[in-house]
Structure 1
């Protein structure tokens, strides 16, 4: 299967694993890359020395391309980027910040740069900044999200007609049929988060993985827009947030309620009551915990079957 994304990353399938905090360590990234997709280490939850360890272990576990996802508002961004360059990582996905900040620096080191956006406006700014590709993420996505609440189905064709560089679709994508739909709409491939969070190789807690496969339609909600929009499973912490809204909480009071370490507590430590459980709407389509290789293979099988069946429509 040849297209612009496969050529850009030198991968077999245009399936990119999202660099999710507390989920995307070296085991998941290397497993996805070994299966023919592109694995990403999620650096947003890692101290610089921890990221170095994950990069080295990923390099030892696969001879295939892999990358690192770096939120640009990360407090130790300079150390992360220095280590990425020093260790010879060749692909970086950036998010949550201005792509102009690091794109040219990374590209001068021979690194391919992809930026994640949630709107046409920021897709155009990213293209102007010189990135090599764009991830357009609809508000169905888990974790931190765009304020516009534009769905993937609307976002992808709109971004596709405004940019010339390769485009990845993200947000609520868990199946091969959804992948095909996104590519019909103009995407060159897909970035998948939630489906890979519910795999054996994901670094998240088993209790969180079980919550993912139990989730039904309507069990997640985009909230905390005053701070940074985030899609969560509706647990006790989410209820506390809703109660705070009902009582007219200020931004400062919401920040105090969120505190520190909620995401780690929920996803990494398995506290299903007081932790943040970040996951996308695609979780309702996930019914079992399987290997990353099985995710890639099943998505491609369903993609090809659906593509072949289009002649009957």
Structure 2
């Protein structure tokens, strides 16, 4: 399958594995890349030396293209970018910040730059900043999200109408049929997060993976808009947030409640009660933990089946 995304990244399939914190290490990224997609290392939860180790191990585990996702709200950005350039990473996804900050610098080093957005407004700003492609992430997505609550199926055609650069759809995509739906609406490829959380190679805790596949409809909700909107599985920590709202909590109260390393506590260390369990709405459609290669292959098989179904309408 060849299109603007496969050509841009040099991959077989237009499937990008999201660079999720505490989940997307070298094992997952290399497995997805070896299966024909684009694997991403999630630098958001990594100290510089840890990122260096993951890039080097990924380079040893695959000869296929892979990239690094760098959320720009974390410290040590300069050091992270220096390591990425030094080690010859060719693809960088930036998020949670101004795309103008790093795009030119990275492109001057021969790096393809993709920026993640949750609205048409920021999609236009990203194109103006000169990025090579964008990820358009709808309200359904897990983790940090947009405040406008625009759904994926609304956002994609709105962005497609105004932009010329390649578009990667994200949010609520875990099957080949969903992939086809987003591409019919104008996407050139998809970024998949939650489905890869429930993979053998994901570095997230086994208890978190199990929680994901046990989740049903309505078990996630977007919260903490006052700080940075994030979609979570409902647990004790989530209920503590709701109680704080009910008691008229201030922004400072919410910051105190959140504390430090709450996502690490839940996703990586396996605290299902007090941890921040970031996952998308599509978790209710994920019922198995399987190898990343199987996920990629299943999505492409489903994609071809869905194409035939559409042709028969």
TMscore range, shorter length: over 0.9
Map of 2:161 onto structure 1: 161
Distance 2:296 2:205 in 1: 21
* Partner residue, 1:84: 84
1:191 aligns with 2:191: yes
SS at match of 2:231: strand
How far the C-alpha of 1:263 sits from its partner, in A, is: 0.1
**SS at 1:164 equivalent:** coil
Any idea what the Cα deviations from partners look like across 1:212-233, whole Å, max 9, x if unmatched?
0000010000000000000000
Give the 5 Å matches for 1:1-313. Answer: 1-313=1-313
> What is the CA–CA distance in structure 1 between the aligned matches of 2:181 and 2:154, rounded to whole Å?
12
Q: Report the alpha carbon displacement of residue 303 of structure 1 after superposing the two structures with TM.
A: 0.3
CA distance in 2, matches of 1:72, 1:109: 19
Alignment partners' CA distance in 2, 1:27 and 1:199: 11
Give distance in 2, aligned partners of 1:60 and 1:228.
Answer: 36
CA distance in 2 between counterparts of 1:311 and 1:295 reads 24
Write the deviation string for residues 243-291 of structure 1: whole angstroms up to 9, x where unpaired: 0000000000000000001000000000001000000001011000000
Where structure 1 has 5 or more consecutive residues not aligned to the other structure, the ranges are: none
Structure 1 Cα separation of the partners of residues 251 and 311 of structure 2: 53
Task: Tell me the CA shift for residue 47 of structure 1.
Answer: 0.2
Distance 1:110 1:238 in 2: 43
Q: Helix, strand or coil for the counterpart of 1:303?
A: helix
CA RMSD of aligned residues (A): 0.4
Question: TM-score by structure 1 length?
Answer: 1.00
* TM-fit CA distance, 1:312: 1.4
Structure 1 position 36, deviation (Å): 0.1
Q: Distance in 2 between matches of 1:249 and 1:291?
A: 42
How far apart, in 2, do the equivalents of 1:72 and 1:106 lie? 14
**What is the CA distance between 1:301 and its match in structure 2?**
0.1
* Structure 1 segments of 4+ aligned residues over 6 angstroms from their partners: none
Distance 1:86 1:196 in 2: 28
CA distance in 2, matches of 1:112, 1:308: 34
- Work out the CA distance in 2 between the residues paired with 1:306 and 1:73: 38
SS of the residue corresponding to residue 115 of structure 1 reads strand
| Separation of aligned partners in 1, 2:178 and 2:229 | 24
Distance 2:268 2:163 in 1: 37
Deviation at 1:172, TM superposition (A): 1.1
- Give the alignment's TM-score, normalised by structure 2: 1.00
Alignment size in residue pairs: 313
Distance 1:295 1:159 in 2: 28
